[in-house]
Each structure stands twice: as C-alpha cells, then as structure tokens.
Amino acid sequence: MSVPTEALSSLLPASGKQLSARRSGSADDGAVLCNVSVDGDLVLVISQERISVGDSARHILLTRLSVSRQKSADGGSIAYADRAAVSLVKCRGSDVEKEDLSTLVKVLEPGRRNESAMKDLIQEYTTSLKGQHPCKAAP
C-alpha cells in the first residue's frame, strides 16, 4: 500500500537505520495486519478489518486504544491523535456487501508521536486504499 513517506518518517525513530514491514492475513479473509519495525523494534502497527455497519472512527479509536482526546477529519470518517488514527471506508451499493472497512494505525515506542503526521498518514493511506476498490462484491 502506498503511504506518504514524509508523514511515515515523522512517526518513526529519527535515529533508525533499517526499516522492515511484515504483513499477515488477507483482505479476502477480512483482516490484514502490518507490523513496521525499525532496527528490530516494532514501532508502527497498521490493521485493517471488515466490520459491521454502524460504528464510527471516533468510537473505534476510543474503545480499542482508549484515545479520548482526538480530532476528526473527512466528515468524521477519520479520527486521529498524536499516537493513533482510524479511518472508515463505507462499502455500499448494489454491487458490494453492506459493510465498513476499518483501518487502525498505532505508533509504539520508540516511534514518535506527531498529530499532523498521523493525520496525513491515515488520510493518504485511506485514499490509496479507496483507489484499490476494497469493497467486495456481494455473493
């Protein structure tokens, strides 16, 4: 998945030398997890899953990561803070399942907290995701 290099760099440790990413799961199975490490330390986690309709990005960020001080963007489909963000892509229409696709990004120590970079990262990641037409066809 294409991500904004500048935003990602602002969240990773400044002194890092080697970046690696490991993906597990599959969009077809309903959940994908990507762990990003710098110099062997896990610093960023991106998870994506298909969820039932009705939840909100703000609620997911609050209940999954206990982030109460958060901001919204893109009409409420994105919630973010300095250490985490959530976006929702709504899948609707006659040619798709009625569901939402949730993406959650979390920075871990020794990663850096940066609210602006987190907002940029989740917005651009979500734009890239939408470009891949992630909503699955109805059976």
Cα 97 from chain centre: 21
pLDDT of 138 over the 50 cut: no
Cα–Cα nearest to 60, from 20, 21, 88: 88
Res. 60: pLDDT tops 60? yes
Which position has the token pair 């990641």?
125
CA 57, 62, 66, 69: dihedral to nearest 10 degrees? 90
CA dihedral 4, 7, 8, 14 (to 10 degrees): 140
Residue 94: pLDDT band (50, 70, 90) is: low
pLDDT for the residue 136: 67
pLDDT tens-digit map of 66-87: 999 999 999 999 999 999 999 9
Residue 74 Rama label (left phi>0; alpha psi -120 to 50; beta):
left
At a CB cut-off of 8 Å and minimum separation 6, what does 39 contact?
Answer: 13, 16, 17, 18
pLDDT of residue 113: 95
Q: CA 82, CA 104: separation in Å to the nearest integer?
A: 13
